[in-house]
Copies of this chain bind each other. A is one copy, B any other.
């Protein structure tokens, strides 16, 4: 066991404070990672505040982790000391179900192990990336290519893969019209990735406040959803709408923007149920779908794609003592576009 400094919430809605946690000793297939940067994801806040249900405390959030390998177990073959690596939203899975075998560990039916706010296979609580170090089985670690700086790579481990995976699954690419709803941490990744995949990209944001950024990141068009004319003008336009917002959307209005056979895919997750008129799906054989993060193989593919296309998150680097303030700013949408904690300050 290794004592490691970390930032933790002691109870639901409690502020995060500096503390010490224990990381397990490195086992045969484990990698010890010196964390350099950890992104702050909106879902960290959902979980710390128990918006998604009862949680495990104390909680060390953080599933957007970039660092450097500092020790490896004797059986490790994929990584060596000094390698630049990342860890995302999951640190283990059953490895035996159909989904695990297909590289869809995020949909493991045997029970995947989230990076924090969970119990691992031993029954020990998992602690996330707001910490100096983390120990992870090599099969749940990905390589950060040389072309990517660790700070802008960290948010790719959740915000990047969460948008990349559905864009690929629903075939965003040349000839396709893709809308990205929301221009936050997920949305600003979705815009860059959809553009790099070759799609024609439209941002649908509440206001035009971030229009310049959106166009700079690769959007071809930018519309304010607060303007009802947007919905008239764009009726029947899109092959794919990727909704990254966690506030409940007026789904029927957004479905009206799809072409026949189009799909509205949610990666944002409102805490409350939403209302839907099924006629909105019948007229045009439309799909409403959801997508959660991505598998390990696809996460590696996404990182390689980002390195190749020069894509990273737009970040605001903070010290660990600023985490609680950063949470408030995320909640008021006052971040362009991802807070990243400098782990040297923990």
| Chain A residues close to B by CB (< 8 Å) | 98-99, 104, 107, 109, 166, 169, 236, 252, 260, 263, 266-270, 273-292
- In contact, B281 and A288 (Cβ under 8 angstroms): yes
Which of B99, B278, B282, B292 contacts A274 (CB under 8 A)? B278
- In contact, B284 and A289 (Cβ under 8 angstroms): no
- In contact, A260 and B292 (Cβ under 8 angstroms): no
When all copies of this chain in the complex are counted, the total is 2
| Distance, CA A104 to CA B107, complexed state (A) | 34
- In contact, A276 and B273 (Cβ under 8 angstroms): yes
- In contact, A107 and B275 (Cβ under 8 angstroms): no
- In contact, A270 and B260 (Cβ under 8 angstroms): no
- In contact, B278 and A275 (Cβ under 8 angstroms): no
Which of B270, B284, B291 contacts A107 (CB under 8 A)? B284
| Distance, CA A289 to CA B283, complexed state (A) | 10
| Distance, CA A166 to CA B263, complexed state (A) | 16
Q: Which residues of B contact A260 (CB under 8 A)?
A: 98-99, 104, 107, 109
- In contact, A290 and B278 (Cβ under 8 angstroms): yes
| Distance, CA A198 to CA B286, complexed state (A) | 25
Which of B263, B269, B277, B286 contacts A282 (CB under 8 A)? B269
Q: Which residues of B contact A267 (CB under 8 A)?
A: 282
Q: Which residues of B contact A283 (CB under 8 A)?
A: 107, 290, 292
